[in-house]
Amino acid sequence: MKRHWVIVCIMLTVILGAFPANANYPHFDAIITGGKVIDGTGNPWYYADVGIINDRIAVIGNLEGAAAGRRIDATGMVVAPGFIDIHTHADDDIFDLPLAENYIRQGVTTVVGGNCGGSLFSIKEKLAELEKKNVGINFALLVGHGTIREEVIGMVDRAPTAVELGKMKTLATEAMQGGAFGISTGLYYAPGFYAKTDEVIELAKVVASYGGIYTTHIRDESDYNIGLVAAVKEAIEVGEKSRAPVQISHLKCLGKPVWGRANEILDLITQARAHGVDVTFDQYPYVASGTSLMGALIPRWAQEGGRTELVKRLQDPNIRVKIREEMLANIERRGGPHTLFIARCSSDPTLEGKNLKEIGEVKGIAPVDAAIEVQIAGGADIVSFNMQEEDLRLIMQSSYGMIGSDGSLVEFGEGVPHPRYYGTFPRVLGLYVREKGVLSLEEAVRKMTSAPANRLGLTDRGLLRKGAVADIVIFDPETVRDLATFEKPHQYPQGIVYVLLAGHVIVERGKHTGVRAGQVLYHRAQSCQ
């Protein structure tokens, strides 16, 4: 170990010696001084200054005596690339909340929307429209398989005809040519659930031909249908047959039936990679998941035809009995009614923060019937506690994983959302790095920066290096932590001291400056056919 650090010190002496103090530097727009640089590669930190000109990193080295428009003192702090959240649903709200404060204040400078099979439609047009909004965060987009499928054949449980599949492939092509970074599936949800594997492979081939990725909320994360292991195998099969890089979304062991199987699914990924299938995944650092009440509890056959048909079935006494029976089983899979909390409910905000057991007691009905009433009234978003810590840690330690929130943009104080909306990245740094030692600081930063950048093909982000875009986060490694809780989620983290977007200071001493310097990012599709 001692020899290792001697080598590192020698290397850094050589590197930094190339940038002596008082060198003949140009005038910098900004210099970050005195910080511990963690460059995103996973390599050990080192002391250096970071010089910025316009929107780029110009120099990393000893900049003592160099002139600058402003100097940022990072003494005692870590200077790292801005975090990239590869799994969000920010496209739901980016037009209404372009400041993206709940992400920026986590140190996140880039978000990827369009996950789990749902996305904005007409990618090219929507991205062009978004450019006019002057967004406060870098924004990239996937095209949703579910969005395409519903557009072509509706909310129906059948395979597409040859003509319909052709239309779906055309829409996927147009999305890639319009700037999408790949395609996402939500095979656990309707209408993605209705798609067979062959259909998914054909669409993944389209995005692969343009250098895009295939991301997937796999068909099962528990034992709802085909089972967790089979669902991971299906994702690998899609990658193998389409040649598209695979990103498994929010990898987890959800519910008691699959607790303890983390090593099994990680072994499948390792074996697939050894056989040439490019498989990686992302993960959020919580033992509670978040989704819609319908997605969590309502059987997929009952959702065919959309919301109107579902409500009709729920109001039919005979069909309701069957739906209710399956919902009861799904509630138990997730740990019981006391573990399922309402996060957002537009039809009755008074239910927010209460669990199904409590709601049933207030209404004087069974929890499952309370859930049915909520769904008939318009549905709700829920949070459910259904994972165990040991599986979470094992998954986090895999070198093939990244950090992703599975959150969205949120209006401060609105609803009772999952705390991951505010705390995902600081939680990893504070709880799982500093307190529990699950990851080294350098590895955690790599999972948040260069790993997702490489996955997306972002060659000028995710690393602190000369020529890279100056998306930078400066945080205090001794104090950084999440403050958002399940009871009180609307709390910004602590320890994220500065955030820069393209050289502009967006967060200064923990406060948002109001500056918007985000960019709409386009995948530069290149035909690989």
76, 97, 116 — which closes off a domain?
A: 76
Judgement on whether residues 200 and 279 belong to the same structural domain of the protein? yes
For residue 483, pLDDT beyond 60: yes
CATH number at residue 240: 3.20.20.140
Q: How confident is the model at residue 62 (pLDDT cuts 50, 70, 90)?
A: very high
Judgement on whether residues 271 and 156 belong to the same structural domain of the protein? yes
For residue 381, pLDDT beyond 90: yes
* Average pLDDT score, the chain: 94
Q: How far apart are CA 347 and CA 342, in angstroms?
A: 12
% the chain with pLDDT above 90: 93
pLDDT at residue 82, as a whole number = 98
Q: How confident is the model at residue 133 (pLDDT cuts 50, 70, 90)?
A: confident
Judgement on whether residues 333 and 283 belong to the same structural domain of the protein? no
Count Cβ neighbours within 10 Å for each residue of 217-243 and write b for 16 or more, e otherwise: bbbbbbbbeebbeebbbbbbbbbbbbe
SS3 content of the chain, % helix, strand, coil (to 5): 40, 20, 40
C-beta separation of 413 from 490 below 8 A: yes
Distance of CA 487 to the CA centre of its chain: 22
% the chain with pLDDT above 70: 95
pLDDT at residue 261, as a whole number = 98
Judgement on whether residues 366 and 448 belong to the same structural domain of the protein? no
Judgement on whether residues 264 and 393 belong to the same structural domain of the protein? yes
For residue 364, pLDDT beyond 50: yes
DSSP 433: I
Query: Could you tell me if residue 506 is inside a domain?
Result: no
Judgement on whether residues 53 and 154 belong to the same structural domain of the protein? no
For residue 12, pLDDT beyond 70: no
Angular region, 371: left φ>0, alpha ψ -120 to 50, beta rest: alpha
Query: Could you tell me if residue 54 is inside a domain?
Result: yes
Collapse the DSSP code of 113 into the 3-class scheme (helix H, G, I; strand E, B; otherwise coil) and give the result. strand
Query: What value does the mean pLDDT take over residues 23-42?
Result: 94
Q: How far apart are CA 37 and CA 267, in angstroms?
A: 33
Q: Is 342 exposed, middle or buried (0-12, 13-18, 19+ CB in 10 A)?
A: buried
pLDDT at residue 6, as a whole number = 39
Query: What value does the mean pLDDT take over residues 427-437?
Result: 98
What are 153-181's pLDDT values in tens digits? Answer: 999 999 999 999 999 999 999 999 999 99
Q: How confident is the model at residue 525 (pLDDT cuts 50, 70, 90)?
A: low
- Identify which of 375, 372, 338, 333 has the alpha carbon closest to the alpha carbon of residue 220: 333
Total of domains in the chain: 3
pLDDT at residue 55, as a whole number = 97
Query: What does the chain come to in residues?
Result: 529
Query: What value does the mean pLDDT take over residues 515-528?
Result: 85
Query: Could you tell me if residue 479 is inside a domain?
Result: no
Q: How confident is the model at residue 529 (pLDDT cuts 50, 70, 90)?
A: low
410, 443, 458 — which closes off a domain?
A: 458
Query: Could you tell me if residue 64 is inside a domain?
Result: yes
Query: Could you tell me if residue 327 is inside a domain?
Result: yes
pLDDT at residue 23, as a whole number = 57
Query: Could you tell me if residue 262 is inside a domain?
Result: yes
What are 206-243's pLDDT values in tens digits? Answer: 999 999 999 999 999 999 999 999 999 999 999 999 99
Q: How confident is the model at residue 13 (pLDDT cuts 50, 70, 90)?
A: very low
Judgement on whether residues 196 and 281 belong to the same structural domain of the protein? yes
432, 458, 484 — which closes off a domain?
A: 458
How would you write 166-187 as a 3-class SS string? HHHHHHHHHHHHCCCCEEEEEC
- Bridge partners, 35 (sequence order): 48
- Identify which of 411, 403, 373, 379 has the alpha carbon closest to the alpha carbon of residue 489: 411
Question: Which two three-digit tokens encode residue 512?
Answer: 């948002």
Q: How far apart are CA 141 and CA 305, in angstroms?
A: 27
Query: Could you tell me if residue 501 is inside a domain?
Result: no
What are 472-481's pLDDT values in tens digits? Answer: 999 999 999 9
pLDDT at residue 511, as a whole number = 96
Q: How confident is the model at residue 528 (pLDDT cuts 50, 70, 90)?
A: low
pLDDT at residue 526, as a whole number = 60
Its domain, for residue 143, covers 83-287+387-458
Judgement on whether residues 275 and 154 belong to the same structural domain of the protein? yes
For residue 7, pLDDT beyond 80: no
Q: How confident is the model at residue 1 (pLDDT cuts 50, 70, 90)?
A: very low
Query: Could you give the count of Cα atoms lying within 13 Å of 75 in the half-sphere of its Cβ?
Result: 2
Q: What is the pTM of this model?
A: 0.93
Judgement on whether residues 238 and 169 belong to the same structural domain of the protein? yes
Judgement on whether residues 55 and 154 belong to the same structural domain of the protein? no
DSSP 337: G
Q: What contacts 37, CB < 8 A, 6 or more positions away?
A: 45, 46, 47, 48, 50, 60, 78, 79, 80, 464
Q: How far apart are CA 495 and CA 479, in angstroms?
A: 5
Q: Are strands 279-283 and 401-403 parallel, antiparallel or unpaired?
A: parallel
Q: How far apart are CA 88 and CA 405, in angstroms?
A: 6
Collapse the DSSP code of 140 into the 3-class scheme (helix H, G, I; strand E, B; otherwise coil) and give the result. strand
Judgement on whether residues 23 and 123 belong to the same structural domain of the protein? no
- Bridge partners, 209 (sequence order): none
C-beta separation of 281 from 249 below 8 A: yes
CATH number at residue 54: 2.30.40.10
Query: Could you tell me if residue 467 is inside a domain?
Result: no
Sign of the C-alpha dihedral, residues 236, 400, 116, 333? positive
**Sequential DSSP letters for 198-209:** HHHHHHHHHHHH
For residue 194, pLDDT beyond 50: yes
Judgement on whether residues 21 and 134 belong to the same structural domain of the protein? no
